[in-house]
A and B are shown apart, each in its own frame.
Chain A
Amino acid sequence: AQSVTQLDSQVPVFEEAPVELRCNYSSSVSVYLFWYVQYPNQGLQLLLKYLSGSTLVKGINGFEAEFNKSQTSFHLRKPSVHISDTAEYFCAVTPRGSQGNLIFGKGTKLSVKP
């Protein structure tokens, strides 16, 4: 079975500061990894994904994440956040070769203050 741990439930940060949202996973098989964002009263939008290849993945809205197999981590980073980045961020995994159903972490609420 797989599980995902998002280490911070809430992250407050000032506008234009860098941010890192942490994600660790547990799995006995290889997985694909994802970050999704959920704005208030909306569905989830894919930010980025790691399927294979370079461990540094770039996504939309200036976000990037790095896959670290030895530490089973997939932390999300942005060098300079905007007010509009205020949202909840979810890390998710799915086992390679599965039907693709996602196992999500509990989410991190990013609050960007002016």
Chain B
Amino acid sequence: DSGVTQTPKHLITATGQRVTLRCSPRSGDLSVYWYQQSLDQGLQFLIQYYNGEERAKGNILERFSAQQFPDLHSELNLSSLELGDSALYFCASSVVGYEQFFGPGTRLTVL
């Protein structure tokens, strides 16, 4: 158990819908990273927050957004969902950035 929690574990939804994925980092970790794992693209970095501020952006679509709240939990919002958005979404947290602890992931299925 890494100490990072993600909810829900599984999410099934339809094209065009909007979903929110939630991540609670390890106690004391200020950084939260979001990654997408798909068969086509592999593991890709989406976005990073540090203590409530966006710090780095990767291959994140404009339909996707994230935020980190004062209690340090983070949410990833995915809208206008397409079939190709089906993937595993991982959250990771760290103190100093170079050792990241990953959550168990949320499996999103878009039908």
Give A contacts to B, CB under 8 Å: 32, 36, 42-46, 49, 51, 90, 92, 94, 98-107
Contact B98 A32 (CB under 8 A): yes
> Is B45 in contact with A103, judged by CB distance below 8 angstroms?
yes
CA distance A112 to B72 in the complex (A): 40
Which of A43, A92, A101 is the one whose CB lies under 8 Å from B103?
A43
Q: Which residues of A contact B18 (CB under 8 A)?
A: none
Contact of A106 among B42, B99, B100 (CB under 8 A): B42
A29 to chain B, nearest CB (A): 15
B100 touches A46 (CB 8 A): yes
Contact B48 A49 (CB under 8 A): no
Q: Which residues of A contact B31 (CB under 8 A)?
A: 99-100
* Closest B residue to A92 using CB positions: B43
- Where chain B touches its partner, the secondary structure class is strand
Q: For this complex, into which size category does the number of interface residues on chain B fall? A: 20 to 34
Q: Mark B72-111, 1 if CB is under 8 A from A, else 0.
A: 0000000000000000001010101111111111000000
Determine whether the beta carbon of A100 is less than 8 Å from that of B48.
Answer: yes
Is B100 a contact partner of A102 (Cβ separation < 8 A)?
Answer: yes
Contact A43/B102 with A99-B55, A100-B97 known, Cβ cut-off 8 Å: yes
| A100, B100: Cβ atoms closer than 8 Å | yes
Contact at A100–B43, with CB atoms within 8 Å?
no
Q: Does B11 contact A (CB under 8 A)?
A: no
Chain A residue with Cβ nearest B31 = A100
Taking A94-B98, A99-B50 as given, write out 12 further A-B residue pairs in contact, using a Cβ cutoff of 8 Å, ordered by the A residue number. A43-B102, A43-B103, A43-B104, A44-B90, A44-B92, A92-B43, A99-B48, A100-B33, A100-B96, A100-B97, A107-B42, A107-B43
